[in-house]
Amino acid sequence: MIKENFIQLFADSFKKNWELKALSDYVEKTSFTYGEVATEVAKLHMLFEACHIKQGDKIALIGRNTSSWCIVYIATITYGAVIVPILPDFNPNDVHHIVSHSDSVLLFTTDQIWESLEEEKLAGIKGAFSLTDFRCIYQKDGETIQKFMAHHEKAFKTKYPNGYHIEDIHYAKRSNSELALISYTSGTTGFSKGVMLSANNLAGNTVFGLTTKLYSPGDNCLCFLPLAHAYGCAFDFLTPINAGAHITLLSKIPTPKILLKAFEEIKPKLICMVPLILEKIYKKQILPKISSSAIKLLLNVPFVNEKIYSKIRETLVQSFGGNFSQIIIGGAPLNKEVEEFLYKIKFPFTVGYGMTECAPLISYSRWDNFIPTSAGMVLHGYMEVKIDSDDPYNKVGEIMVRGEHVMMGYYKNPEATAAIMRDGWLLTGDMGKIDAEGNIYIRGRSKSMILGASGQNIYPEEIEAKLNNMPCVMESLVIERNGKLVALVYPDYDGLDSVDNTQEVLPAIMDENRKNLNKIVAPYEQISSIELYPNEFEKTPKKSIKRYLYQAH
């Protein structure tokens, strides 16, 4: 058990960093000091009391990265309630399901998302609140909440007549063993699994970030990974907010153009990102410069090539703001060509490994200790790793983990929990090896998850389940190709014959299927094209499609 109490970490940070800037919104240009954040948290605690929220109750939170999102998260945790963060890109049906399945009693959301939801499908919540100004936008019974909100500010001033100060911070006393967060890996009813993370799981990741000094008081942090995901939440929010850093929340889709402008302005101390962003920058900015015949010749000349590499490195460092200690890449494997080049020019980057079920971190090494092709070193003192192989140093096997970061299980799903746990070890579903120093080498992924351009988790089975129910589709396989999702479809020829259609009409039917499919999936799950496949897909003895045979290369 981590000795630092997760809730106490927030109290200590607010007291220590009271006057420092804590949260800023990149677009709206609003800003909060640590003291102002603590004050807003205290106001929400009064609201929770008025709504008769108890410790352990669930509070759902959906919206893009903003200061108000962070304040609701902190208020929920420090009240002793359980936060249920939901990705804002989930479609309304998924949101209805998660709010219901999680037993959430309150919902905080944006006005735009609220307009897409149906009140009758949110029967379990007492009230819903806008992330814009925390006003009540729905209440289940009568006008109790509205009446409280009308006098909220006055009640707060009555309770704290001399203003809210450091000595007024008093948060819930809850053990690190208690449930703190439920993270849904997806929204769809048939596939959703609510990962139960304890305060200890979250404290472990946060304390690791603090002890390795990823941030110091006053450092700048640019938060652009989705905070509803474990990676962005742990290292773009929980670690910097408890270190006294200043977090700027992008709240925009992080395209390379938008990010590079923000990096220049914010000059972050640490950058956490998914591989796709770095790979796009490499492809657009670096590759054209080193591909000319003249540069290729010069790169073969000793000493000259070092100067060229040094200039490229400096240009790249400046494009990321010029003030960062390192870039941590996670969420998916980094392209081998990109990794080799960045290592060759001594660019300060590292690749870590984790999963939602570990909140998320399993392995990490600082950039100057990072071994290329590895995913960092197992977190000593926090996590243990073993390979399900008779020769883990040389023969690939499934990566299994246990330790401080491993989840409590899946919410209301003991069968799924039992399927992923073995004698106290969590089965990651990833295949790899480990060396004598504890560096993990991932050699393949038995999981089929695809990482979206902005860090979203895409589960192709969910898209396939919807597509397989559409006209003339016998079976399908969704793959990633050049950054887009493509569906391979083996047609239902018998079904086609039964309605006296010829094969010539299949392309038109599939295009209509694609349009209808894209209406019922999240924006980042949309299919760019459907390609007809001539034969049934090759399957395992368990009748699962051998996905690795069809992955785009």
For residue 415, give the CATH number of its domain.
3.40.50.12780
- Greatest Cα pair distance in the chain: 81
Output the DSSP codes for 233-296.
HIIIIIHHHHHT-EEEE--S---HHHHHHHHHHH--SEEEE-HHHHHHHIIIIIHHHH-SHHHH
Contact 66, 236 (CB under 8 A): no
DSSP result, 281-346: HIIIIIHHHH-SHHHHHHTTSTTHHHHHHHHHHHHHHHHTTS--SEEEE-SSPPPHHHHHHHHHTT
What is the token pair recorded at 463?
């898209």
If you ran DSSP here, which 8-state letter would residue 372 be given? T
Number of domains in the chain: 3
Whether residue 104 is contained in a domain is answered as: yes
Residue 390 CB burial class (10 angstroms; 0-12, 13-18, ≥19): exposed
Nearest to 76 by CA among 61, 86, 87: 61
Let me know whether 438 and 462 are in one domain: no
Which of 130-144, 174-188, 505-519 has the largest mean confidence? 505-519
Co-location of 434 and 483 in the same domain: no
Which regions of 152-217 does DSSP assign to beta strands (E)?
179-184, 194-198
Q: How confident is the model at residue 83 (pLDDT cuts 50, 70, 90)?
A: very high
CATH of residue 483:
3.30.300.30
Residues 209 and 282 grouped into a single domain: no
Q: What are phi and psi of 311, to 5 degrees?
A: -65, -40
* 1 in a structural domain: no
User: Based on the domain organization, do 375 and 420 belong to the same domain?
Assistant: yes
**Cα-Cα end-to-end distance for the chain:** 43
pLDDT of residue 187: 53
Residue finishing a domain among 419, 445, 471:
445
pLDDT at 544: 62
pTM of the model: 0.85
Residues 294 and 241 in one domain: no
In contact, 536 and 489? CB cutoff 8 Å: no
Look over the chain and give the mean of its residue pLDDT values, rounded to a whole number: 91
Percentage of the chain beyond pLDDT 90 is 73
- In the predicted model, what is the mean pLDDT of residues 27-40? 96
Tokens, residue 272? 């956490």
**Quick one: average pLDDT of 30-55?**
97
Q: What is the mean pLDDT of residues 278-300?
A: 83
* Beta strand pairing call for 179-184 and 194-198: antiparallel
Q: Which pLDDT value is given to residue 346?
A: 95
Average pLDDT over residues 258-264: 95
Say how far apart CA 300 and CA 302 lie, in whole Å. 6
439 and 395 within one domain? yes
Whole-number Å distance between alpha carbons of 425 and 521: 34
Buried b (16+ CB within 10 A) or exposed e, 330-351: bbbbbeeebbebbeebebbbbb
d(CA 89, CA 456): 9
In a domain, 263, yes or no: no
- CB within 8 Å of 10: residues ≥ 6 apart: 74, 77, 78, 171, 241, 242
- Helix residue ranges per DSSP H, 17-128: 34-50, 67-79, 92-101, 111-116
Give per-residue pLDDT as tens, 327-373: 999 987 787 889 999 999 999 999 999 999 999 999 999 999 999 99
CATH of the domain at 112: 3.40.50.980
Structural domain contains residue 531? yes
d(CA 547, CA 412): 29
Q: Residue 223: in which H helix or E strand, if any?
A: strand 220-223
> Which residues constitute the domain of residue 340?
270-322+325-445
Residue 258 within a domain: no
Mean pLDDT within 216-223? 98
Report if residue 453 sits inside a domain.
no
Of 407, 424, 445, the last residue of a domain is 445
Q: Where does the pLDDT of residue 553 fall: very low under 50, low under 70, confident under 90, or very high at 90 and above?
A: very low
Residues 231 and 280 in one domain: no
Q: How far is CA 470 from the centre of its chain?
A: 31
Q: Is the pLDDT assigned to residue 552 strictly greater than 80? A: no
| DSSP three-state, residue 44 | helix
pLDDT of residue 255: 85
| Cα distance between residue 153 and residue 149, in whole Å | 8
Report how far Cα 53 is from the mean position of its chain's Cα atoms.
27
Q: What is the mean pLDDT of residues 245-267?
A: 93
228 & 276 share domain: no
φ/ψ of 460, rounded to 5, equals -60, -30
Last residue of a domain, one of 215, 249, 283: 249
d(CA 183, CA 229): 8
User: Which residues fall within 8 angstroms of residue 65, CB to CB, at 6 or more apart?
Assistant: 223, 224, 226, 227, 232, 249, 250, 251
Residue 329 lies inside a defined structural domain of this protein: yes
254 in any annotated domain: no
Are 276 and 132 contained in the same domain?
Answer: no
Residues 522, 463, single domain; the answer is: yes
> In whole angstroms, what is the distance from residue 230 CA to residue 196 CA?
12
pLDDT band (50, 70, 90) for residue 7: very high
The string of pLDDT tens digits covering residues 385-432 is: 999 999 999 988 899 999 999 999 999 999 999 999 999 999 998 888
> Which has more confidence, 321 or 459?
321
Which of 220, 435, 223 lies closest to 322 in space, CA to CA?
A: 220
Output the CA angle 293-296-301, nearest 5 degrees: 130
- What is the rounded CA–CA span in Å between residue 534 and residue 157? 71
Read off the pLDDT of residues 104-131 as tens digits, 9 standing for 90 and up: 999 999 999 999 999 999 999 999 999 9
Please state, as a whole number, how many other Cβ atoms lie within 10 Å of the Cβ of residue 131: 22
| Same-domain pairing of 274 and 237 | no
Residues 436 and 476 in one domain: no
